[in-house]
Structure 1
Amino acid sequence: MERIPWRLAIDFGTSNSAAAVAQDDGGPHALRLGARADAIPSSVAAYNGEILTGDAALQISGIYPAAFEPTPKRRLGEEAVVLGGVICDPVDLVAAVLEFIMGQATRFVGGGSPAQVVLTHPEAWDEYLKARLRAAALKAGIPEESIVLIPEPVAAGWHYAAGSDMDPGTHVAVLDFGGGTCDAAVLELAQTPDGPAFHVVAADGIDPLGGHDFDAQLETWVYSQLAADGKDELLDGLKAEHSGADRAHLRDQIREAKHALSFHASAPIGVRSGQHEWVCTVTRAEFEQLIEPQLSRAVDLVQQVIQEALPSAEQLRKVYLTGGSSHIPALQAKLSEILPMKLGLMGDPKQVTCIGALEAPPAAGRIADSNVPGLQTKAPAPEPADKQGASKQPADKQGASRGRRSGMLVAGGVAASVALLAAVFALASGGTPQPPSSSSSAGSVETAVRQCGGKERPDLREGECNLLNNVNSIGRVSPDSCVPKKDLDGASYGLTCDPNANSNFSSTERPAVYVYGYPSVESLKASFDGLIQRFKAAPRSATKPPGWETWHLAGDTTQAPRGRVLSASEEGMNYLIWTEEAPLMEIWAASQDADVAKLYAWWNK
């Protein structure tokens, strides 16, 4: 019996990945990837000599957090990632996710190779990142001649276009609000000699902003409820070093509650540690109040992109939603207020992009090496790409707008392929594309060298690099010592650092310094309020632990406050914690041998 030809689309997301399959005897439909849902986490973990993906990787996160990477998509532009002491190529991490999805699809259709594999990607990605994604697909065993790349908002646009009548000249907006990023684009449907095409009129995004931020804020809220209810045993248990599994269980409960609140007025969250258990209930109103600043940022992004693209929002036919966070009723209500009768919903927002990728018009006569199918105009020049050191860490410490794109025509038909020569050469020779050189010859793209703490740091993501530059500017840490911190508890990025060389600490007194970057002033303040409750700090001088106070530059109370500072001692560890509101930073200094007075003197000099 002859096998039916089939096609596969993979939406490899920051937090979750989804896929769809289309066979010649029917239209596209979602592919079941996980045990409990169609989509799976995009996370990976290096364990026992192999790279685990999805749900299996999540299980490792609570047992061996150093081996876990929750968002390999964000690391794809880096040269290397260290997981569990193993140096990994980010392309290999992404390839592991794609290979798993490819295997699931092949089993579903009964074998054979797909005629086409469509990979979606952020509209803002430059040619280097797209080449890295393509290299990951090749390593995953996807045939080179079958690979097609399409921008995520364009794929989503084709899904909605397939379900409605659209004439040439129609404008639609797409908001892709997922677990890690928030992207908006305005598309115009055009008719070209090669067939219908979507013109990306304007696009922008915020990274990080998404469901991960909401999870972290809800986790901080749970800790504050534990403290307010006097559940000290649970708090002490959760912050213990051996309680990774209990913290992982709590985060699972938080994610489940977050999803439930899109459909119900309240949801329970179970907390456990050792012999202690507790259940708290969060209402939809409480959750929406926590995340209101982030939802407002997403709505502002949509307004900004529409204003950039069109003289009037009246020219917009619909705003279509995709991504898990677009389920949130408060977001939909906010959008409906500013764009009445414009909101469009159709199907599962988590599946819209991958299904739409298969509903795009076929690329007839497509060149096999084409990295971007149907790219009709010159691509914009790429923008610059973007040792856990302490013996004991403080327990329970777990967005900038991206560059805009406009004027890109993405068609269902074929047009010229655009790719960096270096990337093409690397693929042809079997290697992984490397970043373009910062000093380029004529005709090549010049890429600025990103400085992190005064040096090139390819091991740092863009947010971590910005955080290092901010903390380096206040002169308390040695920038060369700073490495990424994974246990973030509410923050977007984190670093572990050593104090600077002239800190006057002895070798046993030197504190570990933990730096956290937050997405908003509100989330920064919420974190610090939770610490006040956790340590039962009184509003008094931070020289008298446990105490907290507002601090000003050089003690000048006539100026606006710079942040707050808190001191405390707990289980033999002394802490000095302060916030810097302007750069949205929270900084911890933790030492067993230096007392609070010495930590305060180091901070205050």
Structure 2
Amino acid sequence: MGDEGFRIGIDFGTSNTAAVLAFPDGRVRPLLFDGSPLLPSAVHADPLVGLLVGRDATHAARVRPDRFEPHPKRCVDDGAVLLGEARVPVTDLIAGVLRRVAAEASRVAGGAVPRAVLTCPAGWGARRQEVLGSAARDVFADVVLVPEPVAAATYFVAVAGRRVPTGSCLMVYDLGAGTFDASVVRRTGEGFEVLAIRGLDDVGGLDIDAEIVATLGHTYRARDEDTWRRLVEPQDQSDRRASRTLWEDVRAGKELLSRAAHTSVHIPLFDDEAPVGREQLDRLATPILARTVAASRAVLDAAGVAPEELAGLFLVGGASRMPLAAALLHKQLGIAPTVVEQPELVVAEGGLHTRAPAAAPAGPDRIGVPPPVLPTPSPSPPVPADDRHRDAGPGTRFRLRLRRRLTAVALAATVLAGAGAAVIAEQLSDPPSNDLIAVPEPLREDCRGGDDATMPGAARTLLCRDRQGQQATVGLFTDREAVESAYRQAVREAGVTPGEGDCATAATGEHRYPAAGTATGRVLCYTGAAGRTSIVWTDDQGHTITRAEAASQDAGRTLREAWLAWTAAPAFPTREERDLIDLLAAVDCRRAPVGVLDDFPGALAGVECNPQGVGARTASYFRFGTVAELRSAMDGQAAAVKAPTGTDCADGTAPGFLGTRRYDLRSVELGALLCHPGPQSSLVLQWSVESLLVAGRAVGADATGLAAWWRVYSGPPVARTVEAVNGQAAPPFPTAAESELLTHIPQRSRTNCIRPSGEQIRKNVGSEPVVAIVCGPTSGARVVFYYRFPDLAAMRRSYGSGRTGGADCTKQPRSFAGESSYQRGRVSGRLRCGSDESGNRWLEWTTDELAIASFAFQGGDPAAMIDWWRHDAGPA
């Protein structure tokens, strides 16, 4: 991109628009709108100032919501939209959003940016493409349209650095606010081609919001039905403002639950705070996300590609942040999805790396792909144009969906009523096929229902046998909440402590299963009256509880083996476990005890390795699929032990060995650190490395020794962590300017170099613009910062002149404190030295010829430090 001038990549989304600017020198950075990389796609027609866009539009909508359209992309087929008393062409709405993007791009670039790459759904035909293209050409001189999955796949290779051989296929799972698209693309010599797509126009993050609102309605409608109706069916401006506040808070709470286990939602008009938990959200979202998983499987069938043949499964779109999406996909397709830190920016940046414009549409409904081969949902009844946008907001969609549901329920009731009692009687002995889907496959050989098969709380109970004659009772429940209630009752009656034991090897225990990969459910095993052994387990996806019994301990061992076969327990090591061991560069590892894995919900793998060095008795490591899941697990651990936030565990001096805080690597934040007492007078130290999606847990007896072990042996290797941090930096490290600065750092000190944090830069050099790099450890200091200034004057302003003329640091003064000029070969500048309260030495020096200032911290012996500075510190 170096000779192409400025270009802009734009992902015009249903709820938000993202844009990435490509500089002539190859740098790429996202544009910020009011401090955020996401610009709300909303527009508001103000009769005095014209069309407002983004947060200005959402703010104006609080007063005149009838002039507001939050989702112009959904109006692409409408021609014009009624905003207040004015009918505004859809192209004007889209152009208004793009014009706001162009203005920000011009501000950053210092002039107009004429070239734009816009992405659009792969299922859009020529007419929709023309609407988007026409709006874009009103703003930009040169416009290229690229299918969204092609842009996403290109990012996967060009930016994320994943290896995808020519001829291999990727799946792109794109879950946005209002729509979902699953696509299979194949890499060619020219880029990517779309093989098949499956779109759901009625599935997105807004639908999950609607489910949360509906659930809240069960509670608040009972308190005051008229007040709740004002929130979900507003009739005046005051109620519309309250309704919009509710929906905005629901969305914010849902997004927070991707990182935390609990939150609350403010309920306007009631002036109340409603608690919402991750488990409740997952229960509401599962039916919606299950449709996206089904569409993903269907698009693979349409493309003729098996899941194991994919080179990758790539999650994009803001709603894909939900950990449940990745978990369901992994469970159903058997491949681990790839999720980036900012999935909203993937498509916009990927579009900039595509080699060619979008292919000419092959038909009215596809871009460069064959005619549809998958069933598509029937279109909703048309809404009169004058009423379509009267209640601008998700509330309208929610009511329409509710009416469709009620219609479907009424139709189903009519069909069942006409089926006759004979069919119902037949089902008592011959379960329907959709019941059998929830039964473990090895038990489907012989299943029947009847009065002799009952399970408390189950909507239906089956008696099933496998080929060896082993019998089990399967209870089919209506939802996950009913399953959990019945299972908790079984655990209480058995008297088993949750989260202990291992039912794969012992007769008593309760824990998650399987012991590797995504959790499928929970299992309880115990010995009851007369020595009978029982195993009871749940299936979260199928909403079932299965119970099997054996008459004796010997038969109980056989039962455990049968249970392991029924639930397809994986052998060690799985692919995820092997990848984790390789990442750690560890030896002598085994599968982590399932009780320990149970403490890290969302983990895909857990291993326990013999720790190196001294200070730790055991060391366990866990790998996650997303940063959100990793953070949620660490937050849950900290909350469970009631660790005070901000307490440092790194030196073992935390009061009561209890506390948690964020920690960093040379100023770049890596993850969370948690210490707390464990069972039997043990001490536990836990930490996360978010760039690698890894959590660790070490157990020891001495606080100081355990902390010292963590500082040296915590793993993964620093080089792997640095590689991941640099790969996920924005922009990726090193940029062209950073690469040039690296050439001035001597090879012996150019170790594990990264870009320091903005806070650290301000602490070291103030507000002067600099190119910054930090490296280490070196032979003279553990941490060394290098800052290149635009000119000598800027460097001198940062360094200051108030402490000149002191002792010469190269003479190693007794207190190792001084400041003086220096001449070293052909370079010259100022040199300072000193010691901190802990006795660690530091150096600060400038190099006038290069306008570079350097800081070395955590030094040791002054003679060794000065020798390193003379020969290996640089800059050169």
TM-score, length-normalised on structure 1? 0.62
C-alpha displacement of 1:29: 2.1
C-alpha change, 1:243 and 1:89, in structure 2 (3 Å) is: same
Q: 2:289 aligns with which of 279, 283, 295?
A: 295
Determine the structure 2 residue equivalent to 1:120.
119
Determine the structure 2 residue equivalent to 1:406.
369
C-alpha displacement of 1:14: 1.4
C-alpha change, 1:48 and 1:290, in structure 2 (3 Å) is: same
- 1:467 and 2:381 equivalent? yes
Determine the structure 2 residue equivalent to 1:380.
362
- 1:215 and 2:197 equivalent? no
C-alpha displacement of 1:344: 1.4
C-alpha change, 1:170 and 1:208, in structure 2 (3 Å) is: same
Helix, strand or coil: the match of 2:283?
A: helix
One-letter code aligned to 1:466: S
Q: Is the 8 A contact 1:186 1:200 kept in 2?
A: yes
C-alpha displacement of 1:84: 0.4
Q: Is the 8 A contact 1:45 1:60 kept in 2?
A: yes
Q: Deviations over 1:42-64 (max 9, x none)?
A: 11111124111111222233332
Q: Is the 8 A contact 1:171 1:315 kept in 2?
A: yes
Determine the structure 2 residue equivalent to 1:15.
15
Q: Is the 8 A contact 1:464 1:484 kept in 2?
A: no
Taking the aligned partners of 1:164 and 1:20, their CA distance within structure 2 comes to: 21
Indicate the structure whose relative CO is greater, using CA pairs within 8 Å and at least 6 residues apart: 1
Q: Is the 8 A contact 1:215 1:258 kept in 2?
A: yes
C-alpha displacement of 1:122: 0.7
Q: Deviations over 1:134-183 (max 9, x none)?
A: 2101223x11xx21110111001100011222221111010110001100
- 1:88 and 2:88 equivalent? yes
Taking the aligned partners of 2:104 and 2:47, their CA distance within structure 1 comes to: 22
Q: Is the 8 A contact 1:257 1:268 kept in 2?
A: yes
Q: Deviations over 1:567-594 (max 9, x none)?
A: xxxxxxxxxxxxxxxxxxxxxxxxxxxx
Q: Deviations over 1:187-208 (max 9, x none)?
A: 11111xxxx2211111120002
Taking the aligned partners of 1:48 and 1:467, their CA distance within structure 2 comes to: 32
- 1:286 and 2:249 equivalent? no
Determine the structure 1 residue equivalent to 2:45.
46
Say what the alpha-carbon RMSD is for the aligned residues.
3.3
Helix, strand or coil: the match of 1:221?
A: helix
- 1:304 and 2:298 equivalent? yes
User: Which ranges in structure 1 are unaligned for 5 or more consecutive residues?
Assistant: 364-372, 384-402, 409-461, 470-478, 495-515, 526-548, 561-605
C-alpha change, 1:154 and 1:518, in structure 2 (3 Å) is: farther
Determine the structure 2 residue equivalent to 1:492.
397
Taking the aligned partners of 1:313 and 1:551, their CA distance within structure 2 comes to: 34
C-alpha change, 1:248 and 1:519, in structure 2 (3 Å) is: same
Determine the structure 1 residue equivalent to 2:597.
none
User: Which ranges in structure 2 are unaligned for 5 or more consecutive residues?
Assistant: 421-876
C-alpha change, 1:291 and 1:519, in structure 2 (3 Å) is: farther
Helix, strand or coil: the match of 2:250?
A: helix
One-letter code aligned to 1:121: C
Taking the aligned partners of 2:283 and 2:104, their CA distance within structure 1 comes to: 40
Taking the aligned partners of 2:24 and 2:208, their CA distance within structure 1 comes to: 41
Determine the structure 2 residue equivalent to 1:5.
5
Determine the structure 1 residue equivalent to 2:262.
266
One-letter code aligned to 1:199: E
One-letter code aligned to 1:126: G
C-alpha change, 1:523 and 1:187, in structure 2 (3 Å) is: farther
Q: 1:39-438 alignment to 2 at 5 Å?
A: 39-49=38-48, 50-114=50-114, 116-140=115-139, 142-143=140-141, 146-162=142-158, 163-191=161-189, 196-228=190-222, 230=223, 235=228, 238=231, 241=236, 242-273=238-269, 277-361=271-355, 363=356, 373=357, 375=359, 379-383=361-365, 406=369
Q: Is the 8 A contact 2:174 2:315 kept in 1?
A: yes
Helix, strand or coil: the match of 1:113?
A: coil
Q: 1:442-521 alignment to 2 at 5 Å?
A: 466-468=380-382, 486=391, 492=397, 516-518=400-402, 521=405
Determine the structure 2 residue equivalent to 1:441.
none
Taking the aligned partners of 2:230 and 2:89, their CA distance within structure 1 comes to: 36
One-letter code aligned to 2:310: L
C-alpha displacement of 1:480: 11
C-alpha change, 1:102 and 1:91, in structure 2 (3 Å) is: same
C-alpha displacement of 1:483: 5.5
Helix, strand or coil: the match of 1:52?
A: strand
One-letter code aligned to 2:185: L
One-letter code aligned to 1:92: D
Taking the aligned partners of 2:66 and 2:347, their CA distance within structure 1 comes to: 32
C-alpha displacement of 1:21: 0.6
C-alpha change, 1:550 and 1:62, in structure 2 (3 Å) is: farther
Identity across matched positions, percent: 28
Q: Is the 8 A contact 2:69 2:389 kept in 1?
A: no
Q: Is the 8 A contact 1:53 1:100 kept in 2?
A: yes
C-alpha displacement of 1:550: 11
Taking the aligned partners of 1:40 and 1:24, their CA distance within structure 2 comes to: 24
One-letter code aligned to 1:134: G
Taking the aligned partners of 2:386 and 2:100, their CA distance within structure 1 comes to: 36
Helix, strand or coil: the match of 1:14?
A: coil
C-alpha displacement of 1:341: 3.6
C-alpha displacement of 1:75: 1.3
One-letter code aligned to 1:359: H
One-letter code aligned to 2:177: G
Taking the aligned partners of 2:10 and 2:296, their CA distance within structure 1 comes to: 25
C-alpha displacement of 1:77: 2.5
C-alpha displacement of 1:256: 0.6
Structure 1 or 2: larger helix share? Answer: 2
Helix, strand or coil: the match of 1:184?
A: strand
Determine the structure 1 residue equivalent to 2:509.
none
Q: Is the 8 A contact 1:155 1:353 kept in 2?
A: yes
C-alpha displacement of 1:321: 0.5
C-alpha change, 1:168 and 1:558, in structure 2 (3 Å) is: closer
C-alpha displacement of 1:330: 1.0
Taking the aligned partners of 2:275 and 2:87, their CA distance within structure 1 comes to: 42
One-letter code aligned to 2:228: L
Taking the aligned partners of 1:559 and 1:29, their CA distance within structure 2 comes to: 62
Aligned length: 408
C-alpha change, 1:329 and 1:552, in structure 2 (3 Å) is: closer
C-alpha change, 1:482 and 1:299, in structure 2 (3 Å) is: same
One-letter code aligned to 1:157: A
One-letter code aligned to 1:176: D
Helix, strand or coil: the match of 2:380?
A: helix
TM-score, length-normalised on structure 2? 0.43
C-alpha change, 1:236 and 1:197, in structure 2 (3 Å) is: closer
Helix, strand or coil: the match of 1:209?
A: coil
C-alpha displacement of 1:186: 0.6
C-alpha displacement of 1:519: 9.5
One-letter code aligned to 1:347: E
Q: 1:570-589 alignment to 2 at 5 Å?
A: none
